[in-house]
Amino acid sequence: MTVTVNKWGNNLGIQFPKVIAEAADLSAGKKLLITIDGTGKLILQVEEDNITLDDLIKGVTPENRHDVFINKTVGKEGWNY
């Protein structure tokens, strides 16, 4: 597939066709690592999100927190404690 390099302000850019964006799981705001190999080929790699446990915990609110039942029979589980 061929795309055209366009000028955007002082920068150059390309648009990814939808089929390529979907196959590479690209979306607006995703970060790409760009490198050039020894033969002059551009290599684009999607940077993985480095989500930490602290990042996940920050997202917990009273509205999205679920109650946890420990050692309580809720239905007909029939567990013996």
Each residue's pLDDT tens digit, 24-65: 989 998 999 999 999 999 999 988 878 889 988 888 888 888
User: Residue 69 above 70 pLDDT?
Assistant: no
Q: State the pTM of this model.
A: 0.51
Distance of alpha carbon 64 from alpha carbon 78, whole angstroms: 29
Mean pLDDT of 1-21: 94
Number of Cβ atoms within 10 Å of the Cβ of 46: 13
Distance of alpha carbon 21 from alpha carbon 3, whole angstroms: 13
48: left (phi over 0), alpha (psi -120 to 50) or beta: beta
Domains of the chain: residue spans and CATH: 6-58 (2.10.260)
User: Residue 72 above 70 pLDDT?
Assistant: no
Structure confidence at residue 59 (pLDDT): 87
Structure confidence at residue 71 (pLDDT): 67
